[in-house]
Structure 1
Amino acid sequence: MKFSKFGQKFTQPTGISQLMDDLGDALKSDQPVNMLGGGNPAKIDAVNELFLETYKALGNDNDTGKANSSAIISMANYSNPQGDSAFIDALVGFFNRHYDWNLTSENIALTNGSQNAFFYLFNLFGGAFVNEHSQDKESKSVDKSILLPLTPEYIGYSDVHVEGQHFAAVLPHIDEVTHDGEEGFFKYRVDFEALENLPALKEGRIGAICCSRPTNPTGNVLTDEEMAHLAEIAKRYDIPLIIDNAYGMPFPNIIYSDAHLNWDNNTILCFSLSKIGLPGMRTGIIVADAKVIEAVSAMNAVVNLAPTRFGAAIATPLVANDRIKQLSDNEIKPFYQKQATLAVKLLKQALGDYPLMIHKPEGAIFLWLWFKDLPISTLDLYERLKAKGTLIVPSEYFFPGVDVSDYQHAHECIRMSIAADEQTLIDGIKVIGEVVRELYDNK
């Protein structure tokens, strides 16, 4: 049996497929596994209780009987391809209430998770474009890339293009910083000089700029000044700025630094219900100019007929009454901030005298660890840790658009989830400490 080029692209090994396979195998294993890989959110009691309460209320919200409840309606009927209209209306009200963006329902579309959203957006703005300025009849198209202004970036972006990979990326400035008065931390910053001198940008071969905020995998939060500079560059070159808020404002709001969220017609904001604790609902949200929403809706119709409605049914009342924001601010954000503090403490205890640097924890549900001059690559470290029942994610997968063969830093870092329970953090970091100490000691 032979597959097309399309099929071959999606059946070859990828970083995201290996990650998800290993996570699935670990969940099925009869041996204990320290799950410090993957992006599954933590199980927070107050969060799960609110979701359960909301779910139960869906079955009892109509006097005519449970057969006509919101839960049944959401599961028994398609929405239109743009997504559940009640949820979209609730989101319009929420964003206008908190940010005064003057949105209408034409500015929001739903997708089956944010991964689905980026499949759409990266193929809308990256790949082959009609070359309207060419006088050469043989040059009817031009390939455009998605510009990632700061790598490392999200592992799931790498393979979503239908044909090939269309990325241009810029390596970061690395600054040593303090955190809570302690040494041993660093922070990535956008190298704007390198970005603005990128040939692909100057030559019109960039279709969009995209960044996650906070960044998966590092927990870095681009400053308001960096975001304003990126927005100005995007407008100057007449390309959209896409911002991935899967971990950011206003929900789940896992951001500890001072940051603000802005939107205009040249900005595309992406949100998700996954990190508030509903990853299985596969509900993504796109806020954009009406022309983009129309294109996304058309793609939904072809790929999915319509987005799933069950996540929308759960979230609609929580968005309408602002409980989703209260939950994010009062339960989710403090939980992960406490987890980050614990994980840093454990890592300092395990590797305090070794060349460990931690990216300054500014948000998201991960820590990004840099082992300077590590004797082996973190791909090899990943295998050694997996053999000892501890899963992390190696750094090599997080540099789409960059040839990292001669960039040593890209082979010396790991992403470690802090969403696990306290005992798993203790056990997993103990294993990481033992393996890494042995590597340096035998160097």
Structure 2
Amino acid sequence: MTPMTDSSTSLWATRLRQNQGIRSLMEDLGQVTGHPDEILLGGGNPAHIPEVEEIFAECFRILGEDPSLRSLLGDYQAPIGNDRFRSLAAEYLSPHFGSNLTKDQIAFFNGSQNAYSYLLNIHSGYMKDGSFKKILLPIVPEYIGYADQSIEENAFLAKNPEVIKTGNHRFRYALNKTDFDLSEVGSVALSRPTNPTGNVLSNADIDWMEERTKKKSIPLLIDLAYGNPFPNLIGSEDPINYNEGRTLSLSFSKIGLPGVRLGIIISNPETIEILSSYAAVGNLAVGNLGVYMMEILFQKNILPHLSKNILRPFYDKKRELAISIFESEFQKHGIDYEIHDPMGGFFLWIRFPSLSVSNHKLYHLCKDKRLFIVSGHYFFPGLNSDFSHTKDCIRLTYCRKEEELARGAHILAEIVASHQAKSQ
């Protein structure tokens, strides 16, 4: 094979081949060996919950007996889904988002990650008037999967969040409202709950931003992969509604179906039409399995019960268990630590203020012990200021079994204890 040279590789391709957080994360998930000593606290896989998996197994039984199985396996969908499924989704989701949605406001993609790779590039880069527009992340750290999706380089814009101490070994990030400059901004993007921290921005904060974005006709992209109406892991905060000027994304991944790869976009008809063109070129068609399962789950109205009575209690219990396990090990080893208030989602964001190595180095030290975590330095795209949290925070999932969490906490505490500043 002829090796690629600088003249045969685009700048975009060169950037894609560099070290990416999302690639590292997914390769860690995909390349595990199954060794009994492996501790997988890095990835975004949801927990395997028997009651939930039985619901999905019943969906498969229904599909297997349905005459439409031939279409599921043997026919293409339209690029963003056939009208029948889009109409069903619009009708079902309308009351959940306080809006009278139509099929022209719905698009399906092979996961919301896939959809965002188009959305972010629609609203950033060089515009028709020659200007260069950026993607504002109003609060960082923010989702690891956004950082490498822009075709143009230096497309992200961010600034330090406010850091509020909320208790002993506790803090949270708050929206920094000073100098909220939108002059270079083509879109504002956020996840709610925020991945990685579990932060849930209040509706008041979102309304405050929207007052400013609407004046400049700047779209607000809100990623609800962990949010309402499913899996609805939003703690005590109120759900998000759909308003003109917002683009909302939903995912089936965190209800327990990451392998199905179904993302749902709600937006204005013009954005949906552009997305359809993108999808036809880059994807050809959305996959069938997700939308056929969606039809069953929506028609039987299964997801509200699943979210409220199974997923939320399960993850609430897991979160409290994980915090107890990690804090016990940290305190036993004399670790200097802070945990972001986990308001939603299913991750812990942990800061080690006295760490004498970078979080990226800590990731490799842990990996050497078969413990997989995620280095926090990946979660700050567009932040050009010096902010200590970029170097001393990590993300952990608490979706694993208790025994695995306990082993992981012990190994992590031992490694951090041996790499703390001597004054501690």
Residue 425 of structure 1 aligns with which residue? 405
Residue 45 of structure 2 aligns with which residue? 40
- CA shift digits 1:390-440 (9 cap, x unpaired): 111011100000125x32221010000111122111111111112112223
Q: Distance in 2 between matches of 1:22 and 1:341?
A: 26
Maintained 8 Å contact 1:84/1:312: no
Aligned ranges for residues 341-356 of structure 1 at < 5 Å? 341-352=320-331, 353-356=334-337
1:376 is aligned to 2:357: yes
1:72 to 58, 70, 73: 70
Aligned ranges for residues 291-370 of structure 1 at < 5 Å? 291-352=270-331, 353-370=334-351
User: Once structures 1 and 2 are overlaid, which stretch shifts more, 301-310 or 13-22?
Assistant: 13-22
Q: Distance in 1 between matches of 2:160 and 2:215?
A: 22
Q: Find the residue that maps to 1:207 and give its secondary structure.
A: strand
Q: Distance in 1 between matches of 2:19 and 2:278?
A: 26
Maintained 8 Å contact 1:149/1:210: yes
1:23 is aligned to 2:29: yes
- CA shift digits 1:324-359 (9 cap, x unpaired): 121111111111111110011011111134321110
Residue 92 of structure 2 aligns with which residue? 94
Partner AA of 2:74 in structure 1: A
Residue 7 of structure 1 aligns with which residue? 13
Q: Find the residue that maps to 1:269 and give its secondary structure.
A: strand
Q: Find the residue that maps to 1:17 and give its secondary structure.
A: helix
Q: Find the residue that maps to 1:80 and give its secondary structure.
A: coil
Q: Distance in 1 between matches of 2:300 and 2:85?
A: 12
Taking structure 1 as reference, are residues 84 and 420 closer, same or farther at Cα in structure 2, changes over 3 Å only?
farther
2:133 to 124, 144, 159: 144
Residue 123 of structure 2 aligns with which residue? 125
Provide the TM-score with structure 1 as the length reference. Answer: 0.90
Q: Distance in 1 between matches of 2:265 and 2:396?
A: 28
Residue 189 of structure 1 aligns with which residue? 174
Question: CA RMSD of the aligned region, Å?
Answer: 1.5
TM-superposed deviation, 1:125: 0.2
Maintained 8 Å contact 1:84/1:110: no
TM-superposed deviation, 1:213: 0.3
Partner AA of 2:127 in structure 1: F
Q: Distance in 2 between matches of 1:172 and 1:259?
A: 22
Aligned ranges for residues 129-208 of structure 1 at < 5 Å? 129-131=127-129, 141-178=130-167, 183-194=168-179, 196=180, 198=181, 201=182, 203=183, 205-208=184-187
Q: Distance in 2 between matches of 1:427 and 1:103?
A: 48
Residue 373 of structure 2 aligns with which residue? 392
Q: Distance in 1 between matches of 2:351 and 2:60?
A: 42
Q: Distance in 2 between matches of 1:345 and 1:163?
A: 43
1:106 to 104, 107, 116: 104
- CA shift digits 1:274-310 (9 cap, x unpaired): 1111111111110000000000011111111111111
Maintained 8 Å contact 2:159/2:384: no
Maintained 8 Å contact 2:136/2:187: yes
Q: Find the residue that maps to 1:367 and give its secondary structure.
A: strand
Provide the TM-score with structure 2 as the length reference. Answer: 0.94
Partner AA of 1:327 in structure 2: L
Q: Distance in 1 between matches of 2:355 and 2:138?
A: 27
2:205 to 217, 226, 229: 226
Gaps of 5+ in 1: 62-68, 132-140
Partner AA of 1:218 in structure 2: T
Q: Find the residue that maps to 2:24 and give its secondary structure.
A: helix
Q: Find the residue that maps to 2:254 and give its secondary structure.
A: coil
1:412 to 379, 383, 392: 392
Q: Find the residue that maps to 2:131 and give its secondary structure.
A: strand
TM-superposed deviation, 1:255: 1.6
Taking structure 1 as reference, are residues 412 and 257 closer, same or farther at Cα in structure 2, changes over 3 Å only?
same
